[in-house]
Copies of this chain bind each other. A is one copy, B any other.
Amino acid sequence: MSSSSSLKTVRQLQVASPVPADIDIANSVEPFHISEIAKDLNLSPKHYDLYGKYKAKLLLSVIDELKGSGDGNYVVVGGITPTPLGEGKSTTTVGLCQALGAFQDKKVVTCLRQPSQGPTFGIKGGAAGGGYSQVIPMDEFNLHLTGDIHAITAANNLLAAAIDTRIFHEATQSDKALMNRLCPPNKEGKRSFNDIMFRRLTKLGISKTSPEDLTPEEVKKFARLDIDPDSITWRRVMDINDRFLRKITIGQGPDEKGMVRETAFDISVASEIMAVLALTTSLADMRERLGKMVIGNSKAGDPVTADDLGVGGALTVLMKDAINPTLMQTLEGTPVLVHAGPFANIAHGNSSIVADKIALKLVGPGGFVVTEAGFGADIGTEKFMNIKCRYSGLTPQCAIIVATIRALKMHGGGPDVVVGKPLNNAYVTENVALVEAGCINLAKHISNTKAYGVNVVVAVNKFSTDSEAELNAVRNSALAAGAYDAVICTHHAHGGKGAVDLGIAVQRACENVTQPLKFLYPLDFSIKEKIEAIARSYGASGVEYSEQAEKQIEMYSKQGFSGLPICMAKTQYSFSHNASEKGAPTGFVLPIRDVRASIGAGFIYPLVGTMSTMPGLPTRPCFYDIDLDTTTGRVIGNGGSKNFYRGRLNNFFIEEIYYKPFFS
């Protein structure tokens, strides 16, 4: 079968076997100028800003311009409960789009998350897909991109600096002095409030319009935020794996007068601002969300927001370009929108609503938007439906569940799969019984996902060691469990051509939707009822709350935040809270250790166990292998390891690379 498409930018791949290193594949093709990709989407230069030759930011005005036109089909890619090596969700997402766009003449846009730079230099490598299903140029995708994460870091840390400095200035000044500094006189000697101050005044129920008219009591309420240092949940961030910042003490300089405080840095993608970016629907909406982010409480227990600190507008200004998604391309020349990359545990792990919205208009009726949801379907797809779709108002027609024989064998009782250790023989020799036993995990994901009212298509990401009998077993199990279809894919080895059957299945699934979108819980459930609905979907028989969790739930309810959706922070390696429980465990009691909130982003997140929000570097990080050819200006991998270029640390490479555990 040869490529057939009306796209002008379709590139026919010449695939080699065995599959070369990702970087060699990526470097073997010259990307199209991104304006060519844009042209295929009927976009003209007024619709985007170029960032070099291979990236462009699409302007939000595209949504307004296409307001009247219809949306395309909306497909979400989730997965079964993964091994620590990942099962190729990004690669499948890209491969499917290459099939639809380059082989099936469909208008298609891939929507992906922007990867954090930290792991790129650490152990994990980049996230541009892999093999013949990749986003290019790989280095631009994995590094600064168009600066969105840098903007998030800047905004996050400006807010952090504002918090500590405000506490400092409040500690050393009278109410009157504070007020006089907050509202300095103009050259006629007149004091006034500015726009952002009226937000706080409104919140405090003060309707006066001049600072001079406030009573001393009102001055105190307005000018003194009285932040309780122990209540501060806002941390600084950095897009680096810097474990030594996991717990730090700040304010030890002599000028800070002993106002020391323990705090921490998270990796930037864990910032609430990243979650805001992913969930916002417009500039005006982003302004409101950024302003209402809660950084902690006053000593009286009232939530203190970014707007209370006077910084919501500046944060929006810092984020004004970041709200525009970045257009890139796949190896086969189909368009990709890269936008936002919130953590998949403490946040919702999905790319942005605005990118999906723009993409759905651009492809139009009959076209396809394929978007990836982080982690297994219990986390990624669940949050996609109950948080992302709830805020966007968009309705998916089809949900894909990516499975591998390897992961199914693990769920069937196979030995541990450990990063850095060679795979046990069980994973590379035929064992149909093990696969069949493991399909219980797949079946649970299928039934959970079907419950949202979408058609479920299982994509089996085939490895060279998988046998026909094993693959057939998965297909049969999937169909028995209610999947609309189940398809074997070889897009890693063959590009879009290897996902043509998947493309056909997805088209049929989208055409044959019979039910409306159904959420797992209504928003007017209490926080606990919502948590329990999700826990039940995992297979839990009940939920256990720590004292701290009870306290936080009570506080958030009292503060008026109980109407928000729930974003569960749970391990991705099991349906339960225990990563070693494979398959589809039942009857367990889900422990809720703590409950936190991202009020601006718009969700409550219960912590099931401990989540690390700052990775570390191994003894020999990926950066050892990264250098620049200063003659050509090209990024090169100068060592033996392919970490930087491996896409996710995935199935394909574990077969090729033998390396010792080095993450001690």
Contacts and interface: CB of A to CB of B under 8 A. Distances in A.
Interface of A: 49-53, 57, 117, 121, 139, 143-144, 147, 150-151, 153-154, 157-158, 160-162, 164-166, 168-169, 172-173, 178, 180-182, 184-187, 189, 192, 194-197, 236, 238-256, 259, 261-262, 264, 282-284, 286-287, 310-314, 316-318, 320-321, 616-628, 630-631, 633, 635, 638-641, 656-660, 662, 664
B284 A255 contact: no
**Which of A192, A245, A246 gathers most chain B CB within 10 Å?**
A245
Nearest to A194: B639
Contacts of A144: 147, 150-151, 154, 318, 321
A162 B245 contact: no
Contacts of A635: 317, 320
Given A623-B162, A624-B310, A640 B143 contact: no
Nearest to A245: B250
25 contacts: A50-B50, A121-B314, A158-B623, A161-B617, A165-B616, A169-B619, A173-B619, A182-B620, A184-B660, A185-B658, A192-B640, A194-B625, A194-B639, A244-B251, A247-B251, A247-B254, A247-B256, A283-B628, A287-B627, A287-B628, A310-B620, A311-B621, A313-B638, A316-B627, A320-B628
A646 to B, nearest CB: 14
A181 B620 contact: yes
Contacts of A195: 627, 638-639
Nearest to A288: B630
Nearest to A291: B627
A664 B177 CA distance: 11
Given A154-B240, A283-B630, 18 more contacts: A49-B53, A121-B314, A147-B147, A147-B150, A157-B240, A158-B240, A160-B242, A161-B617, A166-B619, A168-B244, A169-B618, A194-B638, A196-B627, A236-B242, A244-B259, A247-B251, A248-B249, A286-B630
Contacts of A189: 658
Contacts of A317: 139, 143, 626-628, 635
Contacts of A660: 180-181, 184-185
A246 B240 contact: no
A596 B495 CA distance: 54
**How often does this chain occur in the complex, in copies?**
2
Contacts of A150: 144, 147, 150, 153-154
A181 B640 contact: no
A165 B195 CA distance: 46
Contacts of A239: 154
B630 A287 contact: yes
A311 B625 CA distance: 9
A162 B658 contact: no
Contacts of A320: 628, 633, 635
Contact of A627 (B185, B313, B624, B662): B313
**Which of A189, A284, A630 gathers most chain B CB within 10 Å?**
A630
A429 to B, nearest CB: 19
A49 B140 CA distance: 13
A55 B196 CA distance: 31
Given A184-B641, A627-B316, A244 B164 contact: yes
Nearest to A629: B283
A250 B248 contact: yes
Of all A-B residue pairs in the complex, the 3 with the closest CB atoms, nearest first, are: A313-B627, A194-B639, A314-B623
Given A627-B317, A664-B173, A617 B162 contact: yes
A282 B631 CA distance: 10
Contacts of A186: 640, 658
**Which of A181, A317, A626, A638 gathers most chain B CB within 10 Å?**
A317
B243 A252 contact: no
A223 B660 CA distance: 17
B617 A165 contact: yes
Contacts of A627: 195-196, 287, 312-314, 316-317
Contacts of A151: 144
A328 to B, nearest CB: 15
**Which of A173, A189, A284, A313 gathers most chain B CB within 10 Å?**
A313
Contacts of A52: 49-51, 57, 321
A182 to B, nearest CB: 5
A369 B317 CA distance: 32
A252 B262 CA distance: 9
Nearest to A145: B147
Contacts of A284: 630-631
